[in-house]
Amino acid sequence: MGIENELVGFLESSIKDGANKSRDIEIVKFYYGLNESPWPTLEETASRFGVGTRERIRQLLNSKFRDNVSKSSIPSINDFLEILQSREYWLISEFEEEIYDSEIIEKESQLKGIFNLIDDINLNHGYEFYTPELKRATRNSIATSKNIFLIRKANVKNIEKLFKKAQGLPGRYGIANLTYIKEELGQYYSLVSFLIESSPTSWVRVVGDEYWYIFENKDNTIINYSEKVFSVIEHCDSSRLAETFRNALDRRAYKYPYPPTEIVEEYLRSSVYMVNTGSGLKFIGETTKLNEIEEALLSFFNSSGSVSFPELDKYFTEQGYGRPHILKTTNFSPLVHVDKTKGRRSYVYSLVGYRISEEDGSSDTDAYELYLHRLRALLDGGTDETREQTARKEQHILQEWLFKDKTHECCSVCGQEFSVKTLVTAHKKARSDCNDAERLDPHIVMPVCLMGCDYLYENMYIFIDGNEIKRGLPFPNAKAESKFIEDLVGRTVESQWLLGSKSYFRSPNKALQRSSR
């Protein structure tokens, strides 16, 4: 039967015939989610139907529905609850899929309204809508985020505790593997992994069963290393930097293994604090000072390139440093690359990257780097600004990046040249799906025309795979649209719009899966 039919049937028989009967039925249906509003409220219902205030709607709901309904009036609610309560938590989209498949509600119906209905029938469901920060979802959060969860209220405290633990794990490891605490997380493992991924400040790499992650806004050994190293280094090869950091981590053994060098490198290459330039990685965070022995090390390397341990040992011993101090500064320093290929007795030590040169005033910063800097500066724009203000600034910079001083530009999808007025700054991947590093990368956008490409790309009727435009989601009963799509499929996208991470381009099948950065 389905909730909608049962509700309408109930209202038809319980509301007395009269001039307002069909309107009243529509009002009740609207408030209980049988409409397109994702989070119907009394106010919204009142303004939608032009019926006075929220108070008027409340009275109307009472007299037409709440006062007459009983727990058995809408039997499908029980099927709804049975599915809901079969799991401790749901990602909204997963629950919707389940509930649509069972035909308990129509695809156009909205969950929040159905929950209003359940509450008003005085059935206890025990669940609540939560954001990825485990805050109660609001009307606004549901509109701006796809990742909303239904979680059994009684479990939220426990999940919060587990999530906190997972958030703290990367600190000393640099990059942690969530499987380290898999047993402790138990049935919440996948929920917690989802919460991590949904955080804009997280970086996640899933390799097989391994789940590596770091929170870029939290105190972390790898970020601390970068802050130190880049106070004296201008740029550095990414694999050399990763090798050096990985080596430095080994100074102290912890309960769980450290991340492999490849993961450290992947992280460094896509960190929100790094710029990937032709000459290597540059750091754009705040730097910290070296300590005394590190300063000494640096001046030693100023006069000699690659050295052996006895040379370093002699130099430091003469300056009065003790053995443990020397070992720590040479063998396990984020500043020192140790080449171990020639065996234990012939390690070669050198400074990890290229020194900042003082005389070189001319900057080789290109436009990309410049815009990246401007975008990343929004990260620490203080707390006075609202999220919307920052988003507007961000959009403005991205727009400039694509269109500054131009009157015309080619659409990246169809390739035709348009006036810039006809082009939009389109995100390759939805902004709400981006973490901070992706969101604040100029390569996340491309120019797309409003003559059709924007619409087709946005709705995934087409997508970009490799360098080619491919057919995306089916568009049934659409003759004219199909012709547009036909013309685009197979086109090669210009290489300048393919820069940045490959993961920026989503395929429709992938979009249905969990995002993995």
Determine the Cα–Cα distance for residues 13 and 5; give it in Å rounded to an integer: 12
Answer yes or no whether residue 413 interacts with Zn ion by CB under 5 A: yes
Q: Whole-number minimum distance, CB 425 to Zn ion, in Å?
A: 14
Q: Which two tokens stand for residue 173?
A: 């490891």
Q: How far is the CB of 426 from Zn ion (least distance, A)?
A: 10
Dist. CA 202–CA 197, nearest whole Å: 6
Does residue 402 interact with Zn ion by CB under 5 A? no
Q: At what angle do helices 54-61 and 21-31 cross, to 10 degrees?
A: 100
* Cα–Cα distance, 162 to 186 (Å, whole number): 10
Q: Which residue, 8 or 451, is less far from Zn ion as judged by CB?
A: 451
Helix or strand or coil: residue 446? strand
Least distance to Zn ion, CB of residue 446, Å: 11
Q: How far is the CB of 487 from Zn ion (least distance, A)?
A: 10
Question: Token pair for residue 295?
Answer: 């300063």
Contact between 412 and 447 (Cβ < 8 Å): yes
| Binding segment toward Zn ion, per CB under 5 A, in 69-77, 160-168, 408-416, 473-481 | 408-416
CB nearer to Zn ion: pick between 214 and 413? 413
414 part of the interface to Zn ion, by CB under 5 A: yes
Planar angle of CA 201, 207, 210, nearest 5 degrees: 80
Closest contact distance (angstroms) between CB of 404 and Zn ion is: 20
Instruction: Considering the complex, state which of residue 236 and residue 448 has its C-beta at the smaller distance from Zn ion.
Output: 448
Give the number of residues in contact with Zn ion, rule: CB under 5 A: 5
- Of 178, 157, 155, which is closest to residue 166 (Cα–Cα)? 178
Q: Which of 248, 411, 440, 485 binds Zn ion (CB under 5 A)?
A: 411
Indicate the residue among 256 and 403 with the shorter CB distance to Zn ion.
403
Sole window of 134-142, 223-231, 346-354, 441-449 interacting with Zn ion (rule: CB under 5 A): 441-449
**3-state DSSP call for residue 303?**
helix
Q: CB–CB of 395/444 below 8 Å? A: no
Phi, psi of 453, rounded to the nearest 5 degrees: -60, -45
Give the residue with the Cβ less far from Zn ion, 72 or 407: 407
Distance CA 163, CA 193 (A): 9
Q: x-or-dash pattern for Zn ion, window 442-481, by CB under 5 A?
A: -------x---x----------------------------
Nearest distance from C-beta of residue 416 to Zn ion, angstroms: 6
Rounded to whole angstroms, the Cα distance separating 403 from 489 reads 26
| Binding-residue pattern over the window 147 to 166 for Zn ion, x denoting contact by CB under 5 A | --------------------
Least Cβ distance, residue 441 to Zn ion (angstroms): 23
Which ranges constitute the DSSP H helices of 332-452? 367-376, 387-403, 436-439
280 near 319, Cβ under 8 Å?
Answer: no
In whole angstroms, give the CA distance from residue 270 to residue 96: 34
The region of 112-120, 193-201, 277-285, 409-417 touching Zn ion under the rule CB under 5 A is 409-417
C-alpha–C-alpha distance, residues 216 and 171, integer Å: 10
The amino acid that residue 438 corresponds to is E
Residue 456 C-beta: closest distance to Zn ion, Å: 9
Which x/- pattern, by CB under 5 A, does the window 371-390 give for Zn ion? --------------------
Decide if residue 493 touches Zn ion (CB under 5 A). no
| Nearest residue (CB) to Zn ion, 172 versus 491 | 491
Q: Which residues pair with 151 in a beta bridge?
A: 89, 128
Shortest CB 413 distance to Zn ion, Å = 5
Comparing C-alpha atoms, which of 322, 318, 310 is closest to residue 348?
310
Nearer Cβ to Zn ion, position 395 or 422? 422
Residue type present at position 498: L
Task: Decide whether 204 or 449 has the Cβ nearer to Zn ion.
Answer: 449
| Other beta carbons less than 10 A from residue 177's beta carbon | 22
Q: Going by DSSP bridges, is the β-strand pair 423-427/348-351 parallel, antiparallel, or unpaired?
A: unpaired
For Zn ion, the closer CB: 178 or 413: 413
Stretch that binds Zn ion, among 58-66, 138-146, 193-201, 412-420 (CB under 5 A): 412-420
Contact window for Zn ion (CB under 5 A) among 154-162, 276-284, 307-315, 413-421: 413-421
CB of 497 to Zn ion, least distance (A): 12
- The 8 Å CB, 24+ separation contacts for 494-498 are 494/410, 494/412, 494/415, 495/467, 497/412, 497/446, 497/447, 498/464, 498/467
In terms of CB distance, is 186 or 490 closer to Zn ion? 490
Nearer to Zn ion, 297 or 424 (CB): 424
CB 459 to Zn ion: min, Å: 14
When the beta carbons of 309 and 457 are compared against Zn ion, the nearer one is 457
Provide the binding-site residues for Zn ion, judged by CB under 5 A: 411, 413-414, 449, 453
